[in-house]
Amino acid sequence: MSEPILEVSGVAKTFVLHLRDGARLPVVSGAGFELFAGECVALGGPSGAGKSSLLKMVYGNYRVDQGAILVRDGDETVDVAHAGPRRLIRLRETAMGYVSQFLRVIPRVSALDVVAEPLIHDGVDRDEALAKARALLARLNLPERLWSLPPATFSGGEQQRVNIARGLIAHRPLLLMDEPTASLDAANRAVVIGLIEEKKRAGVAILGIFHDAEVREAVCDRIIDVTEFAKAA
């Protein structure tokens, strides 16, 4: 078998809440797993088990106390747990994407530009990027009249579709998804399932949190039970 895209080993994290007299909040401990190209893996376990924290640690959004998170970036392997911020920023630009639960709205930027931005950042021609963004938004059934508007006033489901489009438009070998279908109707869930399957076929490794059983069963190849890591912590 080929080299993993993501290799997590011995990862531990505890929040220290200084404002509450240094209270310690263990999240995970001894977390370890691998992720290979073309597979989709769900992080499983009840809420509070540390699924989201683990996902955020992989992305470098949360810091790691112990262990290593190795992400392949071309010929290099980068340890997210120890990489400097500049390296981490570049890793996010080339090797991993993140579809968060909620869209962080940027004032005055249209939905279309929000979606096209990662591609433009990659150096793709602006017109080409916008064309791809239009196609994606159309596929996700976002009404065309909304495309030129900033998503601040969109409904939750509309914002999430913009968010998914933004997260999926550019190619990243590792994709992290935090409940991408939470506020979508059945038709749009099906669209997202299709998009995820396409990514898998393109060799993208996906790590996600999928509460929706239908989506999970449709796209996930296996489930990693985070409870095991939480127990240890």
Residues with Cβ < 8 Å from 207, sequence gap 6 or more?
Answer: 6, 35, 40, 41, 43, 55, 58, 174, 175, 176, 177
Q: Could you tell me which stretch among 33-41, 82-90, 174-182, 218-226 binds other proteins (CB under 8 A)?
A: 82-90
Q: Would you say 83 or 190 has its CB closer to other proteins?
A: 83
Task: Tokens for 94, please give them.
Answer: 């080339």
Report, in Å, the least distance between residue 217 CB and other proteins: 31
- 123 interacts with other proteins by CB under 8 A: no
- In the chain, DSSP finds a helix count (H) and a strand count (E) of 8, 9
Report, in Å, the least distance between residue 163 CB and other proteins: 15
Q: Would you say 98 or 147 has its CB closer to other proteins?
A: 98
| DSSP 8-state class, residue 20 | G
Q: Could you say which residues in the range 212-231 bind other proteins, by CB under 8 A?
A: none
CA distance 164 to 180: 7
Residue among 25, 89, 138, 223 that touches other proteins (CB under 8 A)? 89
Site string for other proteins, 32-71 (x = CB under 8 A): ------------------------x---xxxx--------
Q: CB 32: neighbour CB atoms within 10 A?
A: 14
Q: In angstroms, how far is CA 43 from the centroid of its own chain?
A: 12
Residues near other proteins (CB under 8 A): 15-19, 56, 60-63, 84-90, 106-109
